[in-house]
Every structure is written in C-alpha cells, then in structure tokens.
Structure 1
C-alpha cells in the first residue's frame, strides 16, 4: 500500500472536475522516432489542448474545488505554464487570478498568461523569487495561494495522465517523466506503482537544474544556489519536503541530462514526430540519447508535457 498524500479513488473521481478537452490526450507509437533511438517509443501528447501543457489537469481540479468553497481570488507562482493553466481554469469559474513570474520567463509564456485574463506580476529574479512574491501577495491581499506540487490537486490532476497510460504499458516498459516541482512525477508515479508496478518510472532533469534529483538520490532536501538550463519549466532550486517524501515512494530512478541532449531531443521530435516542443518536453528523449543501452529494445513512453516555446529561441536551438 502506497503511503503518499495521493489517493487513487480521488484521482479517479477527479476526472469529473476536469474539462474533457484536457483528458484522453493522444498516446501513440512513433516508429520513426523509435528507429532513431533503438527502442520502441510511444508519445503521450499533453500539448494538444488550449494551454499546450499538462498543467490544466491540476488547475481544473484545484479551481473547481476552490469555486465550490466560495473562493473569489487566487494567486500562484509560475515558470509560465501553470500560470496560463490557472488563468484558463479560473476564468471559466469566475475566479480572479494573479500570477507571479520571473521577468526572464519566455515572452510567449508571459503573453499567454495575459491572454487568458490573469493579472501578471513580474519579479526581477528566478522562479524561486516569484514563489516568494506569490506568498507575499496571498498574505497581503488575503487571497488563496495555489502552489504547484504542494497543493494535492495539482498532483492528483496530473495523476490522471497515469490512468490513461495504464492500458498502454506492460511490465518491463519504462515511462519517462520530466521532473520539476514534482506534481506530474508524483501523480503519474503513484498511479503506475498502484496499477502497473512492473513498469519502470524514470524522472529526468537537466544537469543545470538538479535540485529534486539530488534530493531524491540523497533522500533529503537538497537546494541549489542557481539554475542554468534552457528547460525553464523545470528550473526550481528549492524542493518541497512533502513532495519529495511522495516521490521517494513512487519512482524508480531520477537521471540528469545535458543541455546538448535536450536540444537534440527537441530536434528529433521535430524531424521524426512533427512536434515543436519546449525544452522540458524533450527531457525523456534526452534520457534515451544519453543511455541508449538501458532502453535498447524496450517499449519507452515519454510524456510530451509542454509546447509553449519562444520560436526565435527554438530556431536558434534546433537550427530550424
């Protein structure tokens, strides 16, 4: 019996609160990509929705419960995707949404936060400083703070991805999950360990943003002074202790990948799957590139978690 904050019955029930546009995303085998990587590759495409990321599964669940409680306003910190998702979900439930974000976040993500009607407050610093600003806003204005990965709804919403993966994986297969704050990793990991325990769950982070991976390896919270990666969506420095506790129970491994492998992964997804993705979404492909023997001949599922990427930067990275 898994002893985490997550609950399988709640996860199953949460699908009723999530707009169907975010559920049942495509899961398909990509033979062209697999041929390049020496294994069978299936793609779980979490970008085929109005906010182009998996985050709305969690914000749909969170805002539905907050609206039922009579909450009128919420605030969050975001690297970009959570803010857009919370704005989208909050707007359709009549919630006033404020997002604290770094002024260095990709412009495309900031513009899309504004486009869904959220109020955007920029900080002159990284995501962790935006998180501090969101806490301050919540305290000063008396609004509800939604914190990704700490709020269980963000984890259990993301866990519905796992429910959709179960029928497509078998013992010996591997599922590769981008690891940032931990909501998707703990959610998907919880479901797979409960319903498909023979499947290997491998989390992937950039070498330049390793805090959660280092914490998982040492079984204690490890922080870093800075991050250096193009994968802005997973570039946190301060893991949340209770999220780490959950992660320790539900994943099999956590690996670090280099920037060059992330860029190559993005290029392969474009050339062989026709997908334009943000760097965080290519972490799974990067993990296969860096350890091909580990995955050779196996069926590997990679979750394409986000597609909000600045096209000018994308062209520089992949040479498109």
Structure 2
C-alpha cells in the first residue's frame, strides 16, 4: 500500500492512552433498517460517551503528551472533546468557534470548563483566530485532521472494525476535515483490504470530495448544510494526500437525504443523531442499487444536536 502519514504501530499505541470510556463502542446489525434500505446495515455507534462523538479518541491522544495550555478551532465536537480531555489533565483549554455554531455544542464546551471565544464568521475564520492565539500566547494549537494524533485516535475505530471483518463489505464514513476517514481508511486498507471505504459529504459542503476527485486541493465558497460538523471549505493538503491513498470513493448527498437518514435512525434504530452522523444512511438512500444485497457499516459519529432544530428537521 502507498504510504500515508499514519502508522499502525502508532495507532495501536494510541489505544493505550485513550480513556476506555471511548473505546470498543457498539458495533451491531440494525435489522429494522434492512427492509427499508435494501441492504444489511450495521451501526458503529460513536455517540455513547461523555462527549457524544468520536472526537474524544483523538483528543485523548493529543493531551497525553501535553502540559500547560492548548487552543483549537471547532464546530463544536472537537471543542467538547478537547475540553473534556484537558479538564481531566489540568490543562487550560481555549476553543474558538463560530457564533453561528450549534448552541447546544457551545453550551457543553463552556460546561466542560473551556474558555470559549466566538468569531463572526465560519469555521475557517475560527481556524485563523485559533492559530493567531497560539502564536500570540506560545501555546499548542490543535488542528483537527492535520495533527496526526487526531487521525490516530479516530483510526482506533478502524482497529475495532477490522476485528469484525470480513463480515461486512462497505464502510460509510462522514467526510469533513478527514481525520475519521483517513484514520479508519488506513487501518482497513491494511487489516481488511477487501472492505470498500466510501466517504460521504453534504453537497452543500463539497470541498474535500471535489478535491478527492480532482486529486488536488479544491477550495469552495461558503457552505450551505445543516451538517455543521463537516462543513469545511479549505481542505488540508496533507490530509487529502492520505485520503487519496485510503478511500475508494467520495460521494455527495443532498440535505433532504441527510434529514431522511436522521429520521430513519430515529424511527428504526432509536438513535438521535446530528446531521453528520446520518451521512452514511443518506448515501444508501441516494444510490440503493450500489449497496443492494451488501453488508454496509455506517459510522454514527456524533449525537450533539440542538433539540429545537432536530425536531424541526425530523418532525
């Protein structure tokens, strides 16, 4: 396999520093979805933990080697995870976010003890501000997906999936900054090479998917999606290079399909998920023939959602 920035030995080592509360998450077949979607669907559930997303795996690896202060930009989930991991180790955590981010995510960042700074712009502006704070104060900047620790933490999900292979044919992974996709994809390429790795992104935030197809960085204008957790518009070149090695495909899905996916996960799996976590189901809905008769795993990556917005979406 061509090289990526990731390394299996480091990923296995990452498991040893991650709080067990984030590890060995449920992986189970959801039989109720099969007649609706026309394929066997298993769920890898990354929401049953203190920060309700997979991000805690990566922040645990980040903070394992830190002392002092740390800053990150976040749409919400990374900030919560870094606040949780940092609090347990006595770190001073600052999170920069858009003031338009999901209110419930921002509230949890504050509740976990981090200092929250809001910017009047999108996530890319938050990234610029976080970098400026790191330079000014001489503290560690955590850059999701660029920092290998975030990818290695996410990659431990791949170890858990590989242990269950070859019982499934396809893994559907939400694609935003790329830590989850590159981490899981790297492990599966090595440990379960017969498994197809398909990344899924909203059509309203297509930068990484367009970049994957063009095989070069493609930036986009403002995003337009309810899936705020994956709504970047400036792909990181190093992450794209890894993604080009490990992903078999990258697809875009509509907002209507994302909402339908959220509704199906509620009605047939009893799961309240944020839009990013429904991208896998949305991909099946939009291309049933591709997945018909196959065993598909979807990584349900987050469950941090504003209740009012959620009820407005799913009815």
Contact between 1:171 and 1:196, CA under 8 Å: does it hold in 2?
A: no
| Match of residue 250 from structure 2 | 254
Q: TM-score, normalised by structure 1?
A: 0.97
Secondary structure at the counterpart of residue 65 of structure 2: helix
| Match of residue 5 from structure 1 | 5
Contact between 1:211 and 1:222, CA under 8 Å: does it hold in 2?
A: yes
Over 4 Å off, 4+ runs: none
| Match of residue 175 from structure 1 | 171
User: Which of 296, 300, 303 is 1:304 aligned to?
Assistant: 300
Cα distance, 1:275 vs structure 2: 0.2
For the pair 1:317 / 2:301, whether they are aligned, the reply is no
Cα distance, 1:24 vs structure 2: 0.3
Ranges in structure 2 where 5+ consecutive residues have no aligned partner:
none
Equivalent residue runs for 1:62-81 within 5 Å: 62-66=62-66, 71-81=67-77
| Match of residue 42 from structure 1 | 42
Distance in 2 (alpha carbons) for counterparts of 1:137 and 1:51 = 25
Cα distance, 1:168 vs structure 2: 2.0
User: Which of 107, 111, 117 is 1:115 aligned to?
Assistant: 111
Equivalent residue runs for 1:178-193 within 5 Å: 178-193=174-189
Deviations 1:173-203 (A, max 9, x none): 0000000000000000000000000000000
Contact between 1:78 and 1:127, CA under 8 Å: does it hold in 2?
A: yes
Cα distance, 1:171 vs structure 2: 7.4
Distance in 2 (alpha carbons) for counterparts of 1:172 and 1:84 = 32
Distance in 2 (alpha carbons) for counterparts of 1:56 and 1:2 = 28
Distance in 2 (alpha carbons) for counterparts of 1:170 and 1:310 = 37
Distance in 2 (alpha carbons) for counterparts of 1:172 and 1:109 = 33
Secondary structure at the counterpart of residue 138 of structure 1: helix
For the pair 1:269 / 2:257, whether they are aligned, the reply is no
Cα distance, 1:172 vs structure 2: 6.6
Q: TM-score, normalised by structure 2?
A: 0.99
Q: CA RMSD in A?
A: 0.8
For the pair 1:125 / 2:128, whether they are aligned, the reply is no
Ranges in structure 1 where 5+ consecutive residues have no aligned partner:
none
For the pair 1:212 / 2:208, whether they are aligned, the reply is yes
User: Which of 234, 239, 243 is 2:235 aligned to?
Assistant: 239
| Match of residue 21 from structure 1 | 21
Deviations 1:221-246 (A, max 9, x none): 00001100000000001000000000
Contact between 1:172 and 1:198, CA under 8 Å: does it hold in 2?
A: no
Secondary structure at the counterpart of residue 65 of structure 1: coil
| Match of residue 57 from structure 1 | 57
Distance in 1 (alpha carbons) for counterparts of 2:245 and 2:52 = 29
Cα distance, 1:33 vs structure 2: 1.1
For the pair 1:100 / 2:96, whether they are aligned, the reply is yes
Distance in 1 (alpha carbons) for counterparts of 2:13 and 2:151 = 14
Deviations 1:248-304 (A, max 9, x none): 000100000000000000000000000000000000000000000000000000000
For the pair 1:196 / 2:192, whether they are aligned, the reply is yes
Distance in 2 (alpha carbons) for counterparts of 1:20 and 1:2 = 31
Deviations 1:15-68 (A, max 9, x none): 1100000000000000001221000000000000000000000000000012xx
Secondary structure at the counterpart of residue 208 of structure 1: coil
